């Protein structure tokens, strides 16, 4: 699904496996990145979807992971083996992926194990600009759903595009969720005044008002 002429949804329910969180493709002037990697159950289909957008998977330079949960990062180990891409994760979530923690990654929720993998770039202080073809994709720490949850923001076609992923939560002690952090993060997301929100399970919201209303709906 085309979002702008440079951004596409290539994974998630209806695109790849029904268990997958949304996967987005960013393509700037011949340089490409994926936001999240799903569970890994439908990797071949994911790669076909990327090619259908006019991008060869081998040209993907970055795997931008929003958080450590299985439906967003379970497929990264395999993608690392097929793509020469740098994996980016917040340091607070990286530890759970590098040791394959089945509880904090929610792999047990899916009756699966998560294969550990090495995180190439551990984000610590945010906002941090990550450059793709000379253009910035800004990583922003938004804890709450997980300790190291991040969103990514970039400009495309004159729009501020926010890859917010699991804005909706959920919060659970087994995931080390933190309600107060989560509520502060929602307020931070609203303050970013994005034109387009690409969420992890609830689709794409266009227009500042629709974005704000969606995020605000999870506030008390």
> Taking the model in full, what pTM does it have?
0.96
Share of the chain above pLDDT 90, in %: 98
Residue 62 lies in a domain: yes
Instruction: Tell me, yes or no, whether 179 lies in a domain.
Output: yes
The whole-angstrom separation of Cα 208 and Cα 131 is 25
Residue 75 lies in a domain: yes
> Across-strand partners of 129?
138
Confidence check: pLDDT of 36 > 90:
yes
Domain hosting 126: range is 7-216
The answer to whether the CB of 168 falls within 8 A of the CB of 201 is yes
**Local confidence band at 220 (pLDDT 50, 70, 90 cut-offs):** very high
Q: Which letter does DSSP use for residue 157 in this model?
A: T
Q: Strand order in 128-132's β-sheet?
A: 128-132, 135-141, 150-156, 159-165, 196-199, 204-206
Q: What is the pLDDT of residue 84?
A: 87
At 161-176, the pLDDT tens digits run: 999 989 999 999 999 9
Distances (CA, A) of 105 to 70, 84, 124, 132, 136: 5, 24, 19, 27, 28
DSSP string, 181-199: HHHHHHHHHHHT--SEEEE
* Residue at 43 is within a domain: yes
Comparing C-alpha atoms, which of 60, 62, 59 is closest to residue 86? 62
Q: Cα separation of 155 and 138, whole Å?
A: 10
69, part of any domain: yes
Query: What's the mean pLDDT when you consider all of the chain?
Result: 97
Query: SS3 of 7, please?
Result: strand
- For residue 161, what is the domain's CATH number? 3.60.15.10
Element (H, E) at 160: strand 159-165
What pLDDT is stored for residue 165 in this prediction? 84
Please check whether residue 39 lies inside any domain of the structure. Answer: yes
Q: Tens digits of per-residue pLDDT, 98-150?
A: 999 999 999 999 999 999 999 999 999 899 999 999 999 999 999 999 999 99
Please indicate, yes or no, if residue 1 is contained in any of the structural domains: no
Tens digit of each residue's pLDDT (9 = 90 or more) over 191-216: 999 999 999 999 999 999 999 999 99
Cα dist from 72 to 28, 29, 44, 102, 165, whole Å: 22, 26, 16, 14, 9
Check whether 32 has a pLDDT greater than 90.
yes
Asked whether residue 2 is assigned to any structural domain, the reply reads no
Query: Per the structure, how many domains does the chain have?
Result: 1
């Amino acid at each position: 699904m085309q979002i702008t002429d440079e951004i596409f949804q290539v994974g998630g329910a209806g695109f790849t496996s029904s268990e997958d969180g949304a996967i987005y493709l960013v393509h700037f002037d011949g340089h490409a990145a994926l936001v999240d990697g799903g569970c890994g159950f439908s990797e071949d289909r994911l790669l076909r979807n990327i090619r259908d957008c006019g991008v060869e998977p081998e040209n993907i330079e970055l795997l931008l992971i929003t958080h450590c949960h299985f439906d967003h990062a379970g497929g990264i180990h395999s993608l690392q083996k097929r793509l020469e891409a740098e994996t980016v994760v917040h340091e607070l979530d990286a530890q759970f992926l590098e040791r394959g923690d089945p509880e904090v990654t929610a792999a047990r929720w899916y009756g699966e194990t998560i294969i550990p993998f090495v995180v190439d770039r551990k984000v610590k202080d945010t906002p941090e600009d990550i450059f793709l073809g000379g253009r910035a994709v800004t990583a922003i720490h938004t804890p709450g759903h997980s300790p190291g949850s991040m969103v990514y923001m970039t400009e495309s076609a004159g729009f501020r595009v926010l890859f917010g992923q699991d804005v909706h939560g959920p919060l659970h002690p087994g995931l080390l969720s933190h309600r107060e952090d989560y509520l502060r993060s929602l307020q931070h997301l609203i303050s970013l005044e994005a034109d387009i929100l690409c969420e992890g399970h609830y689709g794409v919201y266009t227009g500042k008002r629709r974005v704000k209303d969606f995020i605000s709906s999870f506030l008390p």
